[in-house]
Structure 1
Amino acid sequence: MADRTYRAAPPDALRVEPLGDLTLIFDRRSTQTHIVVSPMPEILAAMGADGCNAAAVAARLAAAFDLGDVDGAQALVAERLVELAELGLVVPV
């Protein structure tokens, strides 16, 4: 399966509030609040404004958090990107 490219919601569309181990993400466009845990907020932050795929996000997270296994992280990130798309927080491009 190809590594699909996604684009994160514009930063001004989301209000991200950490709350202990949970993070609340209010989507101003849909007026829905999503309750997520790590690594969802970190993935959104690593995506930036450009469209990117799981490999790019995994590489950015690996650099930011000094992860050793980028290939294993890529599979996890790909799964989380699908979940973020289902929530409407990222869109496939």
Structure 2
Amino acid sequence: MRLCAERATVSVPLDAFVAVLHRPSGATHLLTEPAPQILTALGDEAVTLDELLVRLAAGFDLGSRAREALSARVAELVDIGLIVPE
């Protein structure tokens, strides 16, 4: 998986939310934790779910069901076009 195409989104922090404009669809999404952190952890290159989990675990206490929860959040971000599955 990877982030959608470069310059396809614009993000603006708004208190507890991050507003993300997805330019290709014209939709604006209000994201809360952990979605912004997931997008940041993806970085610029394609990664697997396990690689993403390792990146997030470096900065957060994820708990025992982290992989299942991360998979669900990633699926949501794929559905709205912010992450592209590879």
TM-score (norm 1): 0.81
Structure 1 match to 2:26: 31
TM-score (norm 2): 0.86
Q: How many residues align?
A: 86
State the 4+ residue runs in structure 1 displaced beyond 3 angstroms.
none
C-alpha RMSD of matched pairs (Å): 1.6
Structure 1 match to 2:58: 63
What is the percent sequence identity of the aligned residues? 31
CA distance in 2, matches of 1:61, 1:11: 22
TM-aligned CA deviation for residue 43 of structure 1? 0.2
2:4 counterpart of 1:9: yes
Structure 1 match to 2:72: 79
